[in-house]
Amino acid sequence: MAKVRGEDVLLLLTDDGFTVACARSITFDISNDIIETSIKGSGRFRTNVSGAIQWSGTIEGLTLLVNGTTDDVTVENLYGYLIAGTQLACRWYEQDISATHYLNKSGYIILESINETSSFDNMVTFTANFKGTGPITITTGDI
């Protein structure tokens, strides 16, 4: 068993095979709705069943501006996809520090929000939140 360093994780958002965003910080969340099924005969303990699964994430990166081109990885591209409601392919890939094993998660997402933060003494950064639009495929194996 080996640990995974943050630098060994990659999130790719793509539109028709072209990368539209890379980030310096990423989070991934998957959750299961729990539905209570307790009835009077359950006694003092609640009973539950599994419900629908949803997944989402957040990316954070540096804001880049390019003169009128959408060929580059820029925050303006993300704004365009958000406004249009474009579905993007999402791939989250990580490997252990020994470069022996990998974990890959992939699916389709829609951008939910974008936030830009600027301060007097720092670089302008963006944060974009997304939600999965269906099932997520999770695979693991040896490199």
- Give the 3-state DSSP-derived string for the chain, with helices as H, strands as E and coil as C: CCCCCHHHEEEEEEECCEEEECCCEEEEEEEEEEEECCCHHHCCCCCEEEEEEEEEEEEEEECCCCCCCCCCCCHHHHHHHHHHCCEEEEEEEEECCCCCEEEEEEEEEEEEEEEEECCCCCCCEEEEEEEECCCCEEEEEEC
The pTM of this model reads: 0.80
pLDDT digits (tens, 9 = 90+) for 83-123: 999 998 888 888 888 888 898 999 999 999 999 888 888 88
**In which residue are the tokens 């890379």 written?**
22
Looking at the structure of the chain, the number of domains it has is 1
Within a domain: 102: yes
- Which residues are CB-neighbours of 86 under 8 A, at least 6 positions away? 15, 80, 110, 111
Query: Containing domain of residue 48, as a range?
Result: 6-142
With the C-alpha atoms ordered 94, 3, 141, 105, is the resulting torsion angle positive or negative? negative
Within a domain: 128: yes
Within a domain: 1: no
pLDDT digits (tens, 9 = 90+) for 37-85: 998 877 888 899 999 999 999 888 777 666 655 555 677 788 888 999 9
Within a domain: 23: yes
Say which CATH number the domain at 66 has.
Answer: 2.30.110.20
Mean pLDDT of 23-50: 88
Within a domain: 120: yes
User: Are 12 and 90 in contact, with CB atoms under 8 Å apart?
Assistant: yes
